Amino acid sequence: CQKRIKEEGLKDEHELQSYFITRIERFLRSKGRRIIGWDEILEGGLAPNAAVMSWRGTKGGIAAAKMGHPAVMTPTSHMYFDYFQGEPYIEPYAIWGHTPLRKVYGYDPMSEELTAEEQKYILGVQGNLWSEYIHSPDHNEYMTYPRGAALAEIAWSDPKNKDWEDFKRRLEEQYRRYEQKDINYSRSAYQVYFEVTDDAPNRKSTVNLLTDSYRPEI
């Protein structure tokens, strides 16, 4: 690598990566294909006609769109389905992190940092389910659904038309479809969370019970 850097007059390893990606991009273009890569391909300069998968947050996708390159928004914060979706101590094994259904549904891939013209370069969203910690097809289904339903609405809905309460209502019917197809979907939205507030001077404690389920009875 150091020999190639010297031969090509490159500044550092980032430029070496860009040099390599640019060569691959030319090859793929000659075969009628287009290159797409994780947002690391921005480092050292983005190859012509390359598209970017923005996974380390949203900055990569925003940068690509501002340069006139297509981007798919798939940030770890909202689009990684190998993260826990409920309380870790009662959920199946997951890699780390916390991406509950409400958080997925609340994501908007169209950043306010982009102009209307720049937003045209955002191709859409992608949910990622890496399988290092997924031990069976049932586990795969559990991590995917119903977060996959939230992902679908992000992709096809205008943010102004999204309604969390209405989505939860419609999910009740979707759950029945999952059951008919014998899909092992997650019930994490039914989990009950509690918050305790202590009022030591008055020797009182307040316990709040919270859930994201539709029409809950606690």
Long-range contacts of 147-155, Cβ-Cβ distance < 8 Å, separation of 24 or more: 147/81, 147/85, 147/99, 147/101, 147/104, 147/186, 148/81, 149/174, 150/101, 150/104, 150/105, 151/79, 151/104, 151/125, 151/127, 153/105, 154/104, 154/105, 154/107, 154/108, 154/109, 154/125, 155/124, 155/125
Give the per-residue pLDDT at 211: 73
Higher pLDDT, 195 or 28: 28
Q: For the residues 87-91, what does the mean pLDDT come to?
A: 91
* Of the listed ranges 74-88, 127-141, 185-199, the one predicted with least confidence: 185-199
Give the per-residue pLDDT at 213: 63
Residue 215 has pLDDT above 80, yes or no: no
Please, are residues 150 and 188 in contact by the beta-carbon 8 Å criterion? no
pLDDT digits (tens, 9 = 90+) for 7-38: 999 999 999 989 999 999 999 999 999 999 99
pTM across the whole model: 0.85
Give the per-residue pLDDT at 203: 84
